[in-house]
Amino acid sequence: MKTKMMKKISILIAVILALAILAGCEQAPAQQSGGGEGGSQVGAIGGSDRSDQEYIWISQYSSLPMFVERVYPTLEAFGRDYGVTVRVAGPTGIDLAAYIATVEQETAGNPAGIIVVGGWDPALSEPVAKAIAAKVPVVVTDGDMLLSGRLCYVGTDSYQSGVKFAEAQMAEHKARGLNGGKVAIIMPLVMENMQLMRDGIHDTFAGTDFEVVAIEENDSSPEIAAQKVAGLLSAYRDLTGIIGLDSESGPGIVAALDEAGVSGPGGIIVVCNEADIGFLENIRNGKVTMMTVERYDVMNYVALQLLYTWHNQSIAHGDLDIWENNWMPDTIDSGVMQVTKENVDEVESWLLSTVE
């Protein structure tokens, strides 16, 4: 069933891309004329008649370095390609109330489409549901919200990320001649996508000699993560591994292990989610064994393609109401890359190219 579903998703994406190319062909005269009167924005695909369309990406902690490095360039690229406006909104810090208020305020402006970064908190489901009720299309990325009524989720399969974290811990333990180990998890406890990662870790360790001895809250702060790791080192003298689930965990874990003198080759085994590009150096020096890199380029570009296609009714179903007959796939897995010493240089080159 999973294979059949992936084939359907692949076909749908291919249809969207084909329609986009056809739309670009139709708009070729406008592109050659420089976008029409008044210097209207024209992209490689979209035309001047669509230059007033605005799509909004919304998250809390919207200034997170990882977002700036990994998400913003993709949003800008889509705006150039399709000749539309893609805008970033949301509080620059962790402020759930302000985040919810931003989603509601942007919905009231009736934009062409909204991307909501999910996973932060279940309370986000309510403003997304309100947007859908108001017929403002919403695609959720980076952590699903199953009860929100969103049109589609495009992002990482969080459970499978947890499986990869656990497998990487087990492989490195085995490489060091250890058949089991005691592992701690650092994570923002309330985030639904992090909870799915945690479940993937637990299920992968089940029936083995690996034990999760502690799960600590870091409040999406590297400083708090470092404090929690320092406490773990005191409480569990036989701790062999640590898994950091969000982008702020890794820097905190490494800082605490550096302080305690137990980082690097032969020290406590660390696997974690990506941080900023500079954090890759910790793969090279052996302080981090494996790091996952989420495909923010894929998830956000595809999410915007879906919203663009929806708003412009590029996929028509006769007289059917698309709000009653949603053609979008329920979920698209944008995938993750696993970074190790073997491929860190290649991955770094790719990441640097996306921010130039």
The tokens 């069933």 sit on which residue? 1
Inter-helix orientation angle 222-235/249-260, to 10°: 50
Q: Burial of 268 by CB count in 10 Å (0-12 exposed, 13-18 middle, 19+ buried)?
A: buried
What the block records as the tokens of 323 is 């709000």
**Residues 93, 231: Cα–Cα separation, whole Å:** 26
Both 42 and 26 in one domain: the answer is yes
pLDDT in 10s for each residue of the chain, 356 residues: 444 444 444 545 544 444 444 344 333 333 332 333 334 566 778 778 888 999 999 999 999 888 998 899 999 999 999 999 999 999 999 899 999 999 999 999 999 999 999 988 889 999 999 999 999 999 999 989 888 999 999 999 999 999 999 999 999 999 999 999 999 999 999 888 899 999 999 999 999 999 999 999 999 899 999 999 999 999 999 999 999 999 999 999 999 999 999 998 889 999 999 988 999 999 999 999 999 999 999 999 999 999 999 999 888 777 788 999 999 999 999 999 999 999 999 999 988 887 66
Both 175 and 282 in one domain: the answer is yes
Q: Closest Cα partner for 294 from 331, 334, 336, 332?
A: 336
3-state SS assignment for residue 239: coil
Q: Residue 117 domain-assigned?
A: yes
Tally of domains in the chain: 2
Other Cβ atoms within 10 Å of 92 Cβ, number: 13
Instruction: Kindly state the helix (H) or strand (E) to which residue 129 belongs, with its residue range.
Output: helix 125-133
Q: What is the DSSP string of 147-159?
A: TTT-SEEEE--HH
Q: Residue 187 belongs to a domain with what CATH number?
A: 3.40.50.2300
Q: Residue 341 domain-assigned?
A: no
Indicate the pTM of the whole model: 0.80
Both 141 and 209 in one domain: the answer is no
Q: Which domain does 104 fall in, by range?
A: 2-156+295-336
Strands (DSSP E) contained in the chain are 54-58, 85-89, 113-117, 138-141, 152-155, 181-187, 210-217, 241-244, 269-273, 290-294, 331-333, 336-339
List, edge to edge, every strand of the sheet that includes 241-244.
210-217, 181-187, 241-244, 269-273, 290-294, 336-339
